[in-house]
A and B are shown apart, each in its own frame.
Chain A
Amino acid sequence: MANLKTEFAGIHSPNPFWLASAPPTDKAYNVNRAFEAGWGGVVWKTLGEAGPPIVNVNGPRYGALLTPDRRLMGFNNIELITDRDLELNLTEITDVKRNWPDRAMVVSLMVPCEEKSWKAILPRVEDTGADGIELNFGCPHGMSERGMGAAVGQVPEYIQMVTEWCKQYSKLPVIVKLTPNITDIRNPARAAKKGGADAVSLINTINSIMGVDPYTLTMSPSTGGKGSHGGYCGPAVKPIALNMVAEIARDPQTAGLPISGIGGIGNWRDALDFIALGSGTVQVCTAAMVYGFKIVQEMNDGLSNYMDEMGFTSVSQIVGKAVPTVSDWRFLNLNHISKAVINQDSCIQCGRCHIACEDTSHQAITASKDGKRFFEVKEDECVGCNLCVTVCPVPECITMRDLPPGETDQRTKKPVSASHADWTTHPNNPMRTSTPA
């Protein structure tokens, strides 16, 4: 078993898998069970300020996007921050941290955007023995209507201001949790860094409506005939999250800022994607809510076997490894040529590649040969778009072949060039520079 120990913004955990601040981390009972199952850390469900706790609806809090086999693709919730008394939460956090000293205990916070509110709660959290705090600037439903959560996260100046207060009134590492409900994720990340944040975590959930009941024509799920947009998460949001993580990782202004990756992580492969794109730890919620806490064992085992196979001896060796491969479009090599290749031995003749290409792309796949059903790439039409690869139901049946320099591209009838040429110098680009970037 590979060593999965992680150090993230000064917080140690036996593995990079943390439970995100969410229903599974709302009380000691759940968190104890999570630690027994092997989770490396938790971000305790968001605490609000002292006084009467918030209340939740008593109708459905969750909705889902399912496959016909009812596998969950996307998940949505309208649960608010903890609806339990602050004192009870603080007592439980203290007990749990004392009993699980090797696990990361991070406390999520959301109080009104006023200095005195933050000043009041921060010492209380520090007294629990917790390892860090996470600022919930992302919750997109309910709390945002009250000027908290995403309402703060959407204004970089507020992010910087609150982060500064937290650094001023607490010694604990500060992780700023970002909302994806914004046009450019780099701005809130830069603001967090300017405010002195030790790390950012992302993404929080995405504004979403799951659907409409076809027979009542009411929004679904609904509480008494009305629904409210919820936060969307689960496997479907992973690509959105990965892009935002990579944007922050490769932004010169935030590069090196620790990132805790969140969004649709259900297995070690998902976690690896986040880690390679710059995340030092990952946070999980939906997968645990679907399968229970045991799922972390498969994540740990998968990552460990991968590391052993690849010769990595610590997670930190993988963090950010793929970031240099993420580029602006304009720097992509336009001289590179790929063509699809269909392996006739594994082709099952479903014809999906043909119809996808024929109807919606480049008419580059045959449907028949000598009067028989036969699917083959027409290299003189193929632009290497990868659509056929994505629609083929057979693993590895269609692959992309990179044409070596010198080979003639049958579509353009020109030999493939060994040199790099991108949009920045392309003759069709009115803004081109004279020399390659």
Chain B
Amino acid sequence: MTTQALAPGVIPGRLTPAQYAQNFCDAHAPLNLSQAKIEADRCYYCFDAPCQTACPTGIDVPSFIRRIADDNVRGAAHTILEANPLGGMCARVCPTEVLCEQACVRNTHEDKPVEIGLLQRYATDHFFNAPGKPFFTRAPSTGRKVAVVGAGPAGLACAHGLAQKGHDVVLFDALPKLGGLNEYGLATYKTVGDFAQKEVQWLLSIGGIEVRHNTQLGKDVALDTLVKDFDAVFLGMGLAGVNSIGIPEDNTSGIRNAVEFISDLRQAGDLSKIPVGRKVLVIGGGMTAVDAAVQSKKLGAQSVTMVYRRGAQEMGASGHEQAWALENGVHIHHWAAPKSVVSEAGQVTGMQFACMHLVKDSLKETGEHFTLEADLILKAIGQSFIAQPLGATVELQAGRIKTDEAGKTSHAKIWAGGDCRFGGRDLTVEAVEHGKVAALSIHSALSA
């Protein structure tokens, strides 16, 4: 315990180096050989396996698990990565409890699914630790050029798929590092050991992908130019906008966006340099809110409360994520919405909330209010798509890009995928599938 541990205000260095190291180690320890073998033995190798159907990228789960059991871990990794080139990251971040593991027939049998996510991590870790001969090689160059905008899961998957087919890809990203949310948007303990960059390097190693860092669409490069200079364009720039909490903030110090806080943590060389409040409020109920809340706690905040305007059922965070927050000492306050920021001399001291309830399925204030003390408020009520750089080039739907199943937009040369595409669940694994499918669609369009 440091002298700073319980000091008020938003300050860094609340913990000892050992505490930081312990708090930010791997959230879920990887399986060792024995655990992997025993777990793999639990798989029934189902016919037309429900887990495979439940995976947005359609990984042949029974095959990869069987290969682990058969001492063919490299083969297991191949099965995973051929369906999902970002299978290593997905093994870490997928909400498996609502995807593959929810579909596992062992749930019906014994209420305990096969640990598919951990087995996927076992196989992919084994591969990335010593990749050996490449799984995927680039086809002879087609001479066709494709611009991929955004190097998050969708863009990376698309670029990798296109490069494999022999197309020349230029990958644009607004930020200095590739990876998108994998690099900037995930809790540190979900992807330790710089895995996001290791995965990016592997994806790029296929060749044929030229990278343009720090190049933002609409600012450093125009969509019209891309459409003119390239044979096809894939848009996978994610959600750059942050939703407002809808009340005045008046430049008060101590109130910031959760996504920036999470990004700071991921990019920090030294976590003791990251300031955190003694009393932290996180506004929102999604995965980002949980990541911000739990990491605040792990940085040494004395109390952390997530405040969400509806009930536990409606939260964007899965049951598993909510349990993870509670397990880490985060309080979750349901049915309350921000009413006003409370501050003294320009510094946040708390927030007033309105109690909420449903009236005929519509969310209304009850008329009651309460105030929670805080020296740091993190806003996590969702991100939004900034469509401005697209102009009128592609058609939107509910503020995001409208596409067909293959990711084709209203413009003949433009495809889109990931969170910026309308109709998804904002999952990493889904973004990968969008990128993968779009690459095939672009390839078939360019080959026609």
Query: Which residues of A come within 8 Å of B, CB atoms?
Result: 67-70, 348-352, 354-355, 367, 373, 393-394
Within 8 A of A (CB), among B46-90: 46-50, 69
Question: In the bound complex, what is the Cα–Cα distance between A393 and B40 (angstroms)?
Answer: 15
Task: Provide a sorted-by-A list of 30 A–B residue pairs whose CB atoms are within 8 angstroms.
Answer: A67-B41, A68-B37, A68-B40, A68-B41, A68-B69, A69-B37, A69-B38, A69-B41, A70-B37, A348-B105, A348-B106, A348-B109, A349-B46, A349-B108, A350-B46, A350-B105, A351-B47, A351-B48, A351-B49, A352-B44, A352-B45, A352-B46, A352-B47, A355-B47, A367-B47, A367-B48, A373-B48, A373-B50, A393-B109, A394-B109
B47 A350 Cβ-Cβ under 8 A:
yes
Q: What chain B residues lie within 8 Å of A348 (beta carbons)? A: 105-106, 108-109
A354 B47 Cβ-Cβ under 8 A:
yes
Residue of B nearest to A71 (CB): B41
Instruction: Give the number of chain B interface residues (Cβ < 8 Å).
Output: 17
Q: SS class of chain B's interface: helix, strand, loop or mixed?
A: helix
Shortest C-beta distance, A412 to chain B (Å), equals 28
Q: What chain B residues lie within 8 Å of A69 (beta carbons)? A: 37-38, 41
Shortest C-beta distance, A115 to chain B (Å), equals 53
B37 A351 Cβ-Cβ under 8 A:
no
A349 B69 Cβ-Cβ under 8 A:
no
Which one of A68, A69, A349, A394 has the highest number of Cβ atoms from chain B below 10 Å of its Cβ? Answer: A68
Shortest C-beta distance, B1 to chain A (Å), equals 43
1/0 contact string of B25-47 vs chain A (CB within 8 Å): 00000000010011011001111
Q: What chain B residues lie within 8 Å of A68 (beta carbons)? A: 37-38, 40-41, 69
B44 A393 Cβ-Cβ under 8 A:
yes
Partner of B50, one of A70, A349, A354, A355: A349
Question: In the bound complex, what is the Cα–Cα distance between A352 and B46 (angstroms)?
Answer: 6
Question: In the bound complex, what is the Cα–Cα distance between A76 and B272 (angstroms)?
Answer: 58
Which one of A69, A70, A355, A367 has the highest number of Cβ atoms from chain B below 10 Å of its Cβ? Answer: A69
Question: In the bound complex, what is the Cα–Cα distance between A69 and B105 (angstroms)?
Answer: 20
Question: In the bound complex, what is the Cα–Cα distance between A352 and B34 (angstroms)?
Answer: 26
Residue of A nearest to B62 (CB): A350
Q: What chain A residues lie within 8 Å of B41 (beta carbons)? A: 67-69
Query: Which residues of B come within 8 Å of A, CB atoms?
Result: 34, 37-38, 40-41, 44-50, 69, 105-106, 108-109
Question: In the bound complex, what is the Cα–Cα distance between A267 and B189 (angstroms)?
Answer: 47
Residue of B nearest to A351 (CB): B47
Residue of A nearest to B53 (CB): A373
Shortest C-beta distance, A150 to chain B (Å), equals 34
B38 A350 Cβ-Cβ under 8 A:
no
Q: What chain A residues lie within 8 Å of B44 (beta carbons)? A: 350, 352, 393
Shortest C-beta distance, B11 to chain A (Å), equals 50
Residue of B nearest to A353 (CB): B47
Known interface pairs A351-B48, A354-B47; 10 further A-B residue pairs with C-beta atoms within 8 A, sorted by A's residue number: A67-B41, A68-B38, A348-B106, A348-B109, A349-B105, A350-B46, A350-B47, A352-B44, A352-B46, A352-B47
Question: In the bound complex, what is the Cα–Cα distance between A67 and B37 (angstroms)?
Answer: 9
Residue of A nearest to B107 (CB): A348
Shortest C-beta distance, A330 to chain B (Å), equals 36
Q: What chain A residues lie within 8 Å of B69 (beta carbons)? A: 68
Question: In the bound complex, what is the Cα–Cα distance between A348 and B112 (angstroms)?
Answer: 13
Question: In the bound complex, what is the Cα–Cα distance between A373 and B40 (angstroms)?
Answer: 24
Question: In the bound complex, what is the Cα–Cα distance between A393 and B43 (angstroms)?
Answer: 11
Question: In the bound complex, what is the Cα–Cα distance between A68 and B69 (angstroms)?
Answer: 6
Q: What chain A residues lie within 8 Å of B50 (beta carbons)? A: 349, 373
Q: What chain A residues lie within 8 Å of B45 (beta carbons)? A: 352
The 10 closest A-B CB pairs, nearest first, are A351-B47, A355-B47, A68-B41, A348-B108, A348-B105, A350-B46, A348-B109, A350-B105, A68-B37, A350-B44
Question: In the bound complex, what is the Cα–Cα distance between A348 and B106 (angstroms)?
Answer: 7
Question: In the bound complex, what is the Cα–Cα distance between A355 and B47 (angstroms)?
Answer: 6
A351 B46 Cβ-Cβ under 8 A:
yes
Residue of B nearest to A397 (CB): B109
Shortest C-beta distance, B108 to chain A (Å), equals 4
Q: What chain B residues lie within 8 Å of A367 (beta carbons)? A: 47-48
Q: What chain A residues lie within 8 Å of B37 (beta carbons)? A: 68-70
Question: In the bound complex, what is the Cα–Cα distance between A27 and B48 (angstroms)?
Answer: 56
Question: In the bound complex, what is the Cα–Cα distance between A399 and B45 (angstroms)?
Answer: 21
Question: In the bound complex, what is the Cα–Cα distance between A354 and B49 (angstroms)?
Answer: 12
Question: In the bound complex, what is the Cα–Cα distance between A341 and B34 (angstroms)?
Answer: 37
Question: In the bound complex, what is the Cα–Cα distance between A394 and B34 (angstroms)?
Answer: 25
Question: In the bound complex, what is the Cα–Cα distance between A351 and B47 (angstroms)?
Answer: 5
Residue of B nearest to A214 (CB): B71
Q: What chain B residues lie within 8 Å of A373 (beta carbons)? A: 48, 50
Q: What chain A residues lie within 8 Å of B40 (beta carbons)? A: 68
Q: What chain A residues lie within 8 Å of B47 (beta carbons)? A: 350-352, 354-355, 367
Q: What chain A residues lie within 8 Å of B49 (beta carbons)? A: 351
Question: In the bound complex, what is the Cα–Cα distance between A351 and B53 (angstroms)?
Answer: 14
Shortest C-beta distance, A6 to chain B (Å), equals 38
